[in-house]
Amino acid sequence: MPETYGREIPRRRNRYRGLAPLNQPPAESGVTIAQMFRITVLTPLRMLVTEPIVILCSFYLGLNFAVVFQWFITVPVVLSSVYKFTPQNIGLAFTTAIAGASLAAITSIVIELGFYRKFVMAEGKPMPRIEYRLIPAMIGGFLQVASLFWIGWTASPNFHWASPVLGTMVYVWGNVLVLVSSFEPCYRHGEPRR
């Protein structure tokens, strides 16, 4: 491979020609601690309070994570108290979460292949507009809300235990769709202006 480092090319050229080594200024070794602190701490904090899209996405994703963590605390309690599940049965019931995540991956791939490529080819651009990345979130948001009502209304001894367990699968499906499609658009739009 040919050399591409700007400081090394003149050195090798002089060495090859038999000339004296170049007197170059010392190379910058990277960023300082102050620059790293500014880039990794201060800039995101500034964006968090000054960029409306970052504020809204952060609140929405924060709510999303809060519901997920509350979900995985509440579901075992409901299954053990209402349906008398053992800890082993509760663990098996959570395999539906794996199925929901797998469905989300498949859905994202289908949307990527279907919508994005269609729009890319129609617009003649190498990348689709960032708004198209939110299509899975639109589907996932509906699935999340529907599954919350589904489980809220069917988690009682009057209904079979499979109903809230399948609702968990639908919730995870929607949640993963929202999370995956929300990360890139939220933070790409919130990049600091230069």
- Examine the pLDDT at 192 and tell me if it is beyond 50: no
Residue 130: predicted pLDDT: 74
**Average of per-residue pLDDT values in the chain:** 84
Residue 8: predicted pLDDT: 86
**What tens digit of pLDDT does each residue of 2-42 get?**
788 888 888 888 888 998 888 887 766 556 788 888 888 99
Burial degree of 34 (CB within 10 A; 0-12, 13-18, 19+): exposed
Residue 190: predicted pLDDT: 46
**What tens digit of pLDDT does each residue of 51-95 get?**
998 898 889 889 988 998 888 888 889 889 999 999 999 999 989
CA-CA distances (angstroms) from residue 77 to 84, 86, 160, 190? 10, 11, 16, 39
